[in-house]
Each structure stands twice: as structure tokens, then as C-alpha cells.
Amino acid sequence: MKFVLRGHEPRWLAPVAVLVAVLVTLALTAVPIRLAGAAPLAAYERYLVTPLTSTHGLHEVLLTATPLLFTGIAVAIAFRAGYWNIGAEGQFLLGAIGTTWVGTTFTDLPAPVALPLGFLAGAAGGLLWAVVPAWLKRRAGIDEVVTTLLLNPVALLVVQGLLNGPWRNSSSGFTDSDRLGSGFDLPALIPDSRVHWGFGVAVVVIVVTGVVLARTATGVRIKAAGQAPRAAEFSGVDVGRLQWRCALVSGAIAGLGGASQVMGVQHQLTAGISDGYGYTGVIVATLGGLSAIGVVLVALLLGDISVGAQNVSLVLQVPAQLGAMFSALLLLAVLSAMSWRRYRLQWRPRPRSGGSR
């Protein structure tokens, strides 16, 4: 029995692989659920189904998915072009800083001016954080994985430095920034819910990205640059320039995510403004197959699980980290299952005909 490369991949294989991965993930998460003294089936229902059965639950899912939509599509754009941007976390934080800066400086602006300015400042912050690694990659061919990754802790230190120093809350003295001007509060997208217009902006960004990636020549070039850079270069695509642009767009979108979280949820800068959204964005983009629709589905799924996991922790006393465990397991299981697709099991090795291979 051995594995051999497949020549042809049947159509049913990818969905089956994903299904197997989901089942494996559910089976593996049953272990910690049991350890916590709960019944796995009841817990699955709570963290997958319950949030979707009430209006309030659905709203919370949309709210939780919002930052993941931004970071997920940001990472997806870069990965598609073959630019491994691991720095969405830092770009998200810089976006939050940019928005907080305009929001606490120009406190009297009315909403029609303030909101676009807030988003613009967020995008600029994210872009700024993406420029250095992208430029080093373009000018000197320096590997972007390490540079984008290392700027994440630097961004967090910048946030902490600002909150410990110049941006310390002027009335309470806590390490949170002052509140943004009221013009910077994103209005509710759905009345009487916490779902804010950041979700709407995320959807617009994703639809535009999806159309560009799937329906335009630029989209084709990006895909070519990512999958076969040499062939793309040979057929006249400037891969370096394309990756540079995708890297900047990716950073700007991650920055928009930070802006949305500040103006829509926290209304101030806090050290915990990003709950690892940039890192989770890598999961969202990868599981979503680097496509716009995939990013939406996975972000909603992870939002659902995250809201459900809160619920499970309250009702069944299973710690809420179950959600994070589930999403990381799902990522590794799906990637593993997909890698088997290229192989098939050969039960009886063919008799060798002379040569060693």
C-alpha cells in the first residue's frame, strides 16, 4: 500500500475532503468538551446552532464577524498575489491608531465629515504599516513573511506606548485613550442592535474585491502572479509591481478594520482593541480559499462559533477558548485533508520494471 500522485482529480474530492476535515475537527473538540464535563452534542448545538436561532444571536454573529471580514479579505488579496502578508494584526492596530488620532483631535466634526475621515485615517494607518515590508520586498527582494510578522509586536508596543504616555485617558487616568468625538460614532446598521455600519463597509469592500478578482483582467493577473509568477512575468505581467500594490491595498483594508472596530465598538483606543483579528484573518483567508465569497462564509462561521463559545462558557461552563481551538483545528484539518487530494492510495504496488523509480 502506498500513496501515488493523482493525474486527474475528480470533482467530488474537494467537498469530501472538507467534510472529512469538519468531522475530524468536531471529533477532536469533543475531547475538551468532555473534559469540561459537558455533552459534546449539546455543546455543538450551543456553539454552532444556538446563535443562529435568535435575532439577537444573529446580530452578535454579524458584529463578531465584522473585523474578521476586513482582515480576512485583506490577507486573501495579498496571498492571492503571492505576497505572504502575515502583518494584518499590526496593520489593523495602526488603523485603529490613525482613527483614534483624528477622532480625538477633531472632536467637533459632524458625522458626515467625521466618518469618512475616520475610515480614511484608518486606511492610511494600515497602509503606512504595510509600506516598509512591501518596499523592502520590491526593492531588495527581502522575504516579507518575517518583516510583516515582526511589525505586529512593534504595532502593539506603539499602542501600549501611546496609551501609557501621551494618550492616557485624561479624565480617568486609565490606559485607555479619551473617547472619540461623537461625530465618529458609527450608526447602527440594523436598528436596535450593536451591528454598526462597519459591517456595511466590510461588505462593500468584499464585493468590490470579489468583482475585481473574479471579473477583471487585474484579477487574472493577480492570480497568475500568485500561482505561477514566472509564467506571469513571461507573459508581460510586472509581478513585483502587482505584489507591491496588493500589499498596500491589503494593509489599507486591514487598517479599515481597525477604524471600524474603534468607531463602531470601542469608541476609544484600548490595548485589547484587536483580539488577534489579524492572525485569525490568516485562518479566514486560507479556509476561504482566498476568494471573496469564501472569506464571507468563513468569517460568518467563525463569528458564529465565537458567539456560541461565549454562550457555551456561560451555560455549560466550558471555557470560551473552545472557539479559538475549533477555528485553529479546522484550519489545520482542512489544509491536511486538502493536501491528501493530490494523492490516491494504491493497494498493490505495480511490479517494478528495472529502474529504481
Q: Which residues bind another protein (CB under 8 A)?
A: 32, 35-36, 84, 86, 132-133, 136, 140-143, 145-147, 149-154, 156-158, 160-161, 164-165, 276, 279-280, 282-283, 286, 318-319, 321-322, 324-325, 327-329, 331-332, 335-336, 339-340
Residue 147 or 209: the one with the smaller Cβ distance to another protein is 147
Min separation Cβ 93 and another protein, Å = 13
Residue 79 or 119: the one with the smaller Cβ distance to another protein is 79
The candidate with the shortest Cα–Cα distance to 250, out of 46, 78, 89, is 78
Residue 224 or 287: the one with the smaller Cβ distance to another protein is 287
Which residues, 6+ apart, have CB-to-CB distance to 20 below 8 Å?
337
Residue 110 or 319: the one with the smaller Cβ distance to another protein is 319
Neighbours of 351 (CB within 10 A): 5
Cα–Cα dist 237/343, whole Å: 32
Min separation Cβ 276 and another protein, Å = 7
Residue 264 or 327: the one with the smaller Cβ distance to another protein is 327
Cα–Cα dist 289/40, whole Å: 29
- Tell me the residue type at 338: M
Min separation Cβ 337 and another protein, Å = 10
Min separation Cβ 341 and another protein, Å = 11
309-328 in b/e burial notation, b at 16+ Cβ within 10 A? bbbbbeebebebebbbbbbe
Cα–Cα dist 158/104, whole Å: 17
Min separation Cβ 120 and another protein, Å = 26
22 by DSSP, 3-state: which?
helix
Cα–Cα dist 210/73, whole Å: 9
Helices 55-80 and 239-261 pack at an angle, to 10 degrees, of 160
Residue 190 or 316: the one with the smaller Cβ distance to another protein is 316
Min separation Cβ 61 and another protein, Å = 20
Min separation Cβ 265 and another protein, Å = 22
Residue 42 or 149: the one with the smaller Cβ distance to another protein is 149
Could you tell me if 268 and 180 are in contact, meaning their C-beta atoms sit under 8 angstroms apart?
yes
Helices 111-140 and 239-261 pack at an angle, to 10 degrees, of 150
Min separation Cβ 228 and another protein, Å = 16
Which residues, 6+ apart, have CB-to-CB distance to 253 below 8 Å?
70, 73, 74, 77, 123, 126, 205, 209
Residue 120 or 156: the one with the smaller Cβ distance to another protein is 156
Cα–Cα dist 42/134, whole Å: 47
